[in-house]
Amino acid sequence: MTDAPDTPHHDAPGPAAADPDTPRAAADLAPADPTVLHPVPGQPRVVLLKPLVTSPLIEVGEFSYYDDPEGATAFETRNVLYHYGPERLVIGRFCALGTGVRFLMNGANHRMDGPSTFPFPIMGGSWAGHFDLITGLPGRGDTVVGNDVWFGNGATVMPGVRIGHGAVVAAGSVVVDDVPDYGVVGGNPARLLRRRFDDADIARLLALAWWDWPLEHLTARLRTVMSGSVDALEAAAPHRP
The string of pLDDT tens digits covering residues 84-143 is 889 999 999 999 999 999 999 998 889 999 999 999 999 999 999 999 998 878 888 999
- Other CB atoms within a 10 A radius of the CB of residue 223 amount to 16
Element (H, E) at 215: helix 215-219
Catalytic residue status for 239: no
pTM: 0.87
User: Do the Cβ atoms of 21 and 224 come closer than 8 Å?
Assistant: yes
φ/ψ of residue 239, rounded to 5: -70, 135
- Tens of pLDDT, residue by residue over 174-190, are 999 999 999 999 999 99
For the chain, the residue count is 241
Confidence tier at 241 by pLDDT (50, 70, 90):
low
Residue of 9, 10, 110, 130 marked active site: 110
Cβ neighbors of 46 (< 8 A, separation 6 or more) are: 1, 38, 39, 40, 65, 66, 67, 72
Q: Which of 204, 205, 182 has the alpha carbon at shortest distance from 193? A: 182
